[in-house]
A and B are shown apart, each in its own frame.
Chain A
Amino acid sequence: MAELKKTNEAVDATPNVSEVETVEAATEEAAVQAIEAPVGRGEPILQVRNLVKHFPLTQGILFKKQVGAVKAVDGVSFDLYQGETLGIVGESGCGKSTVAKLLMTLERATAGEVFYKGQDITRLSGRALKAVRRNIQMVFQDPYTSLNPRMTVGDIIGEPFDIHPEVAPKGDRRRKVQELLDVVGLNPEYIHRYPHQFSGGQRQRIGIARGLALNPEIIICDEPVSALDVSVQAQVINLMEKLQDEFNLSYIFIAHDLSIVRHISDRVGVMYLGKMAEIGTDVQIYDHPTHPYTQALLSAVPVPDPQMREGRERIILTGDVPSPANPPSGCRFRTRCWKAEDKCATEVPLLAVPERFKGQDTPAAHESACHFAEEKDVVHAA
C-alpha cells in the first residue's frame, strides 16, 4: 500500500482551480508538498495548540442574536507523535468528540491551531485540505449509522477511491476493496452485501476498512468499540493494534472506557468540560494520577474482580457535570472537587508539570491542571 503515495503527481496535474480562494496557488503547492512529506517515527505529526470551539446559542427566528455559547472545547493543546496512540478520555460533554470533529476539519475551530506536519489545517482549503483529509481518517462509534444502508459494502469501502481517484486507478478498485476486506478479517466475497446483513463487530470492521482505504497516516477513533459486545470488543481492539503496526498508523483514540484506553494507548489525556485536566503516559496517568478528577474517574471504574475492588479506595463524586454553556469560574472541576479552595474559583490552573514535582524523576512529574496536584494511586488494591 505504500506505493500509493507516489501517485501524487496525478493530483498536481489536475488542479481544482475553482476552489482555490484563500491560499494562493504557490503557497498551496508548498502546503501540499509539506503534507505529502514523510515524518520520522517518534516525531510530532499533529500539534494542537490552544484549540477552541464555541457553539453560539442564539435567540430569535429572523434576527438571530447571540445570547451565549456552549464552550465545547476551550483551549486544548497536545501533540500526537508518529506511530503512537494517544487516548483521550472523559465523560459525556467534556468535548472529546468535538476535538475529533475539529481534527477532521468537520467543524471550524473558533480559535487555535492544528498543525499537521507544520501546516495549520484550520486555515487550509481546496487542494491542500483535500490532501490532509486523505491522510487523516476517522472510525466512528456507531457501526449501525456510520454505513450508508443503501450502499453495498464494496461501494462503501470503494467510495474513498471515487473521491480521491489518484489513489487507485479505476480498474484496480475492486481488487483493492477485496484486499481491504481481507486485511480487516472479512471475507472478500462480501462486497455485494448490504450493511444490515452484518453484525455490529463486522460492520465496525467495514468502517475500519473504509478508514484504511486511502492509506492515511492518522486515524481518529471516536469510541470505536463502545457500541460492541464485550466478546467482540477484544477482536476489534486487537485488529486495530495489528493494523497500527502493519501500516505505521498514529491513532487518536477517544473513549470513555478507561480500561480499554489504557490497553491501547501510549499516552493518555483526560478531559473535563472542554479542557485537558491531565496528560501523560499510561503509567503516569493510571498509576500516578495527580489531578483529582482523574483520580475520581479511575476509582469509579467498575472492575470485574471483586477482590481487587474491595481493596480499592472509591471516590464517589457528588452531582453532575456542569453545563458547558455556563462552566464554573477558575478551575472547572472545583464544583465537584473535595480539595477545592478559594484559589480554585478565581485562578484557572494551567496544564503544566506541578511545581512540587518539577525536576524530579518521578512518574508523578507530568502535566496536570490542578493547583493542588498530589499523587494518589486509586487503581491498585491497597
Chain B
Amino acid sequence: MPEKTAATTASTGTETVTTTAAAPDTVLVTKAPKARSLWSDAWHDLRRNPLFLVSAGLIVLLLIVSAFPGLFTSASPRDADLANHYLGQPNWSHFFQPDWFGYDGQGRSIYSRVVYGARASIIVGVGVTALVTILGTLVGMIAGYFGGWVDTILSRITDIFMGIPFLLGALVVLTSFEKRAIWVVILALVFLGWTQIARVARGSVITIKQADYVVAAKALGASTTRILTRHVLPNAVAPIIVVATIALGGYIAAEATLSFLGVGLAEPTVSWGVDVSSGREQLRNAPHVLIIPSVMVSITVLSFLMFGDAVRNALDPKLR
C-alpha cells in the first residue's frame, strides 16, 4: 500500500502550531515527502513572483523606516529654520541629506518629515486593518455560522453601515471630536470600514459550514467553539487576509485624505497627509512641498495593493 516508506521528516513542529487557528502558514518544508499546506504552496508561488518581491520589499522598508526613523535621517522633522531654508528646492544628488527633498514653508526638512511621517501612515493602516479584520471576521463568522435571525440582524446592521458614504461618514465622525489623536482616526476608520470584511467572512463561512468535515466534527460531538476555531476559521481565513491586505492601502490613503481635509491628524503630529495639506498653500511657487509626500502615499498604497493581489493569486490559483 504505502508507496513511500521513507520517513516523512516533514514540518518541524506543525502539529503543535496548528492548535492556534490561523497558524499553519508556519510549515517549514524540508526534503522530498513534503507536508504541503495551502500556505506553503502559496509561498512557493510568491517567491517567484516579481510583483510580490517588489511590493514586499517596499513594505519591509516602510516598516523599518517607521520603526526606526532615526536610522535614516539625522535631522528632526520639527526643526524649523525659516531664515535659511524657506521653501528650499530639492537637491536630488544629496542622497539621505536633510536637503534631499528640499524644505517646506516653515523651513523644515521634507526628507526628514517624509521619514518620520511614515510611522503615522503605517500605524493607521496596520491598526485599522487589524481591528477591522477582528471585528469583521467575528461579525461575519457569527452571522454566517448561526444563520437564522442572528444572521438577519447582523446582516442588516452591516448593510446600514455599508450605506454610509465612507468619506462623509468619516468627516461627520471626526468633526465631532475636538482633539484628534491617532487612535481617534483609527477608530473612526474602523467604525466605517469593518463591513467589507464582515461580508467576505460571512460568505466564506456559509460555504464552509456545509462542508462534510464540519458535519463530521459535529457528529463527533465537537463544541461550537471548537468547530469555529478549528474548522471554520482556518478555512475561511484566506479570502479575509486577501481583502484585508488590499484594504490596508485604502486606509492609508483615507488617513491622508482626512488629514488633508483638516479632520484627520493635525500638527504637531508628523504625517504625510498633514504635509500634503500644508503644501497646498505654496503649490504655485513650490510644488515639491506637496508632491513629495503625495508620491509617498501613492507608493505605499500601491505596494499594499500589489502585495494583496499577489497573495490572492497565490492562494487561489484558479483566478489567474
Q: What is A's interface to B at a CB cutoff of 8 Å?
A: 61-62, 104, 106, 129-130, 133-134, 137-138, 140-142, 145-152, 154-155, 159-160, 162-164, 185-187, 189-194, 196-197, 207, 210, 214
Contacts and interface: CB of A to CB of B under 8 A. Distances in A.
Interface string B3-35: 011011011001100100000100000000111
Given A152-B15, A163-B222, A194 B36 contact: yes
B21 to A, nearest CB: 9
Given A150-B235, A163-B220, A197-B35, 14 more contacts: A133-B220, A138-B219, A150-B37, A151-B18, A151-B230, A152-B11, A154-B15, A159-B220, A163-B222, A187-B1, A189-B2, A190-B2, A192-B10, A196-B36
Contact of B2 (A145, A146, A148, A186): A186
Nearest to A141: B212
Contacts of A137: 219-220
Interface of B: 1-2, 4-5, 7-8, 10-11, 14-15, 18, 24, 33-38, 152, 211-213, 215-223, 226, 230-231, 234-235
A155 B38 CA distance: 16
Contacts of B15: 152, 154-155, 191-192
A330 to B, nearest CB: 35
12 contacts: A133-B220, A148-B234, A150-B24, A150-B38, A163-B221, A186-B2, A187-B1, A190-B2, A192-B15, A193-B8, A194-B36, A194-B37
A187 B221 contact: no
B235 A192 contact: no
A146 B214 CA distance: 8
Closest 4 CB pairs between A and B?
A: A187-B2, A146-B212, A133-B221, A150-B234
B216 A210 contact: yes
Nearest to B6: A189
B18 A192 contact: no
B231 A152 contact: no
B221 to A, nearest CB: 4
A88 B226 CA distance: 32
A129 B222 CA distance: 12
Contacts of A149: 38, 235
A194 B33 CA distance: 11
A185 B211 CA distance: 26
Nearest to B2: A187
B216 A138 contact: yes
Contacts of B14: 152, 192
Contact of B18 (A134, A155, A164): A155
Nearest to B7: A189
Contacts of B234: 148, 150-151
A140 B212 contact: yes
A192 B222 contact: no
A193 B33 contact: yes
Nearest to A187: B2
Contacts of B235: 148-150
B18 A197 contact: no
Contacts of B4: 187
A148 B231 contact: yes
Contacts of B220: 133, 137, 159-160, 163-164, 214
B8 A192 contact: yes
A51 to B, nearest CB: 18
A210 B235 CA distance: 20
Contact of B1 (A62, A133, A186, A193): A186
B222 A159 contact: yes
B42 to A, nearest CB: 13
B143 to A, nearest CB: 15
B221 A129 contact: yes
A185 B3 CA distance: 12
Nearest to A136: B219
A139 to B, nearest CB: 9
A214 B230 CA distance: 19
A301 B37 CA distance: 41
Contacts of A164: 220-221
Contacts of A185: 1
A260 to B, nearest CB: 20
Nearest to A205: B1
Given A190-B8, A193-B33, A145 B222 contact: no
